[in-house]
Amino acid sequence: AQSVTQLGSHVSVSEGALVLLRCNYSSSVPPYLFWYVQYPNQGLQLLLKYTSAATLVKGINGFEAEFKKSETSFHLTKPSAHMSDAAEYFCAVTPRGTGKLIFGQGTTLQVKP
Amino acid sequence: EAGVTQFPSHSVIEKGQTVTLRCDPISGHDNLYWYRRVMGKEIKFLLHFVKESKQDESGMPNNRFLAERTGGTYSTLKVQPAELEDSGVYFCASSQELLSYNEQFFGPGTRLTVL
């Protein structure tokens, strides 16, 4: 069965610092990969997705993620954190041929002034 | 356009009672998904509708949960009778086409507390 692991349930960075949120997946066939963000009292919002077109994927709000098949990873990065980036971030996969999302445990990002 | 809406936003009930959650997807979206997040755990898939048909209900925990989508528009998720372990946040999502890489649009969730 496919699974997703997010390392670190809480990550704290200073404003302006690099953001790195880690995600590893397990799958015999590269799945489709997603990063979603949830701001307080809102639904999940898609940041970016990997669909095999390009290994470096750019998303909204300056975020990007790189698909590394050899490491089965899809880490999310942003060069400079902003206070408004404070939220919970979810990595997810969709097994090919299905519509359901399989989520990691989520990582709460705190941005300190 | 209006996003995915869910009602109620919060529900507090006692063990043994019945609760019905409602989801209104984005207009025109044939695919509707239910997910649940129990406190401290990951978000888990419950089931998937394509129009009014259940495409995949492999994530439904037991027969106390009943999901319907009459007419292929809004969906309801009924829990009867509710148990303590049913507490959590229930999310609904919708997408336009059944493609594995399609974006799913999420509602804000219903927080269910069973006492």
Digit-coded pLDDT (tens) for A92-107: 998 877 889 999 999 9
Buried b (16+ CB within 10 A) or exposed e, B72-96: eebbebebeebeeebbbbbbbbbbe
Whole-number pLDDT of residue A98: 81
- Average pLDDT rounded to a whole number, residues B82-90: 97
B98 confidence band (pLDDT: 50, 70, 90): confident
Higher model confidence: residue B97 or residue A58? A58
CA atoms within 13 A on the CB side of A82: 6
Per residue in B21-77, pLDDT (tens digit) is 999 999 999 999 999 999 889 999 999 999 999 999 999 999 999 999 988 899 999
Query: Using omega within 30 degrees of 0 as the cis cutoff, is the peptide bond preceding B81 cis?
Result: yes
Whole-number pLDDT of residue A65: 97
Are A101 and B33 within 8 A, CB to CB?
Answer: yes
A68 confidence band (pLDDT: 50, 70, 90): very high
B1 confidence band (pLDDT: 50, 70, 90): low
Whole-number pLDDT of residue B72: 84
CA distance B83 to chain A (A): 23
Are B100 and A46 within 8 A, CB to CB?
Answer: no
CA angle A71, A33, A72 (to 5 degrees): 10
List CB contacts (< 8 A) between A51 and chain B. Answer: 101
CA distance B41 to chain A (A): 6
Are A43 and B107 within 8 A, CB to CB?
Answer: yes
Residue located via tokens 């990063």:
A35
Percentage of residues in chain A with pLDDT exceeding 90?
74
Q: Which of residues 3-42 of A touch B (CB under 8 A)?
A: 4, 32, 36, 41-42
Contact criterion met (CB below 8 Å) for A103 and A91 = yes
Q: Does B102 touch chain A (CB under 8 A)?
A: yes
Higher model confidence: residue B97 or residue A35? A35
